[in-house]
Amino acid sequence: MRKILITGGAGFIGSHVVRRFVNNYPDYEIYNLDSLTYAGNLENLKDIDSKPNYHFIKGDIEDADFIMEIFQKYQFDGVIHLAAESHVDRSITNPMQFVHTNVLGTVHLLNAARTIWNGNWEGKKYYQISTDEVYGALGDTGAFQETTPYNPHSPYSAAKASADHFVRAYHDTYGMPTIISNCSNNYGPNQFPEKLIPLFINNIKNNKPLPVYGKGINVRDWLYVEDHAEAIDLIFHKAKPGDTYNIGGNNEWRNIDLIKKLIEIMDRKLGRPEGTSLNLITYVTDRAGHDLRYAIDPTKIKNELGWQPKVKFDEGFEKTVDWYLANEEWFNNVTSGAYVDYYKKMYEGR
């Protein structure tokens, strides 16, 4: 396996995956394809962008001809597909963009791989990075298993689910060696500050209200992004064609408890008296269709691949806060311009 296409490598998780593959596999050629939407930022990769085995391709997975051309030109052996529209709130205001990127973009990649690989599946792999949100929502107990039926509720998760169905269809119909993994919520450096943790770090720092949706009782299972990148590496190399793995952090938090923990860390790091920022908590109108709880049963990946999260939450959370506080320039760059309009539209009058 020599030439690997990683899509969405300028985004949050993609940048950690690209870095890991570029550093750990000097004999692989890594091609990062990204259209650099608001969420894509090449600054995320500036530490590795001069490595000889790293190549950046600016391009859009929605452009079928272009995708076919690069498959023809570079003859990739493997694909790790992360490029997506990834924010649930944006999917509620603009569902069609999610159909274009997440569904059609995926099918264009599958078509190009099918055409260029042309039935010669030996040494080939197509790996789809999916989310636990495709399984829908849990009540107070239970956890998603690989066999849990898909039951998405948001336009984001419906688009991701649809893409996954196409991936399985290409395996079952054409014999393409595909793999899918469904991961829980990631946290860590380089996440765009529309998602809960970096958004709230920024707001606490700037003494801005913290918009907690509904009652703050929704539960998410948080995994440090580098643990996800490690799981992706293992799955890419070890999974059998047609296989699926769930990836989780064994680390469930109610939003409000997570936010209080974040406030405690931030007040300490900013030298504010304990509890100062608690008064920033502002309960706002709930997200439409807000899934109550996600949780992953990690038995399969643990038993079959020996993977489990390495980074303890206390350590990972502190590290994450430190990174955002130390990288003010990154923050200022991504929160200028269009971000200001986004914030107004999403939160004013909520």
- Known catalytic residue: 132? yes
273-281 contact pairs (CB < 8 A, 24+): 277/204, 277/207, 277/210, 280/203, 280/204, 280/207, 280/208, 280/209, 280/210, 281/210, 281/212, 281/256
**Burial class of 216 by CB neighbour count within 10 A (0 to 12, 13 to 18, 19+):** middle
Chain centroid to CA 3: 22
- Known catalytic residue: 127? no
Beta bridge partners of 32: 6, 56
Instruction: Return the number of the residue (60 or 132) whose C-beta is nearest ligand TYD.
Output: 132
How many residues form the binding site for ligand NAD (CB under 6 A)? 30
Instruction: Return the number of the residue (90 or 171) whose C-beta is nearest ligand NAD.
Output: 90
Which one from 29, 34, 85, 132 is the annotated catalytic residue? 132
* Strand, coil or helix: 9: coil
Stretch that binds ligand NAD, among 60-68, 141-149, 202-210, 229-237 (CB under 6 A): 60-68
Which one from 89, 133, 221, 226 is the annotated catalytic residue? 133
Looking at the chain, the number of H-run helices and the number of E-run strands are 13, 12
Is 84 among the residues that bind ligand TYD (CB under 6 A)? Answer: no
Quick note: the x/- pattern for ligand TYD over 200-219, rule CB under 6 A, is -----------xxx----x-
Quick note: the x/- pattern for ligand NAD over 84-123, rule CB under 6 A, is xxx--------------x---x------------------
Instruction: Return the number of the residue (22 or 163) whose C-beta is nearest ligand TYD.
Output: 163
Alpha-carbon gap, residue 162 to 103, rounded angstroms? 6
Alpha-carbon gap, residue 189 to 12, rounded angstroms? 8
Is 186 among the residues that bind ligand NAD (CB under 6 A)? Answer: yes
* Strand, coil or helix: 44: helix
Beta bridge partners of 246: 182
Q: Got the DSSP string for 67-127?
A: HHHHHHHH--SEEEE--S---HHHHHH-HHHHIIIIIIHHHHHHHHHHHHHTT--TT-EEE
Q: Which of 6, 18, 22, 39 binds ligand NAD (CB under 6 A)?
A: 39
Which residues ranging from 66 to 85 are in contact with ligand NAD (CB under 6 A)?
A: 82-85
Please, what is the minimum distance in Å from the beta carbon of residue 199 to ligand TYD? 5
- Known catalytic residue: 156? yes
218 contact, one of ligand NAD, ligand TYD, none, CB 5-8 Å limit per kind: ligand TYD
**Which residues here bind ligand TYD, judged by CB under 6 A?**
88, 185, 195-196, 199, 211-213, 218, 220, 255, 287
Active site residues: 132-133, 156
Applying CB under 6 A, the residues found at the interface with ligand NAD are 7-8, 10-14, 34-37, 39-40, 60-62, 82-86, 101, 105, 129, 131, 160, 183, 185-186, 192
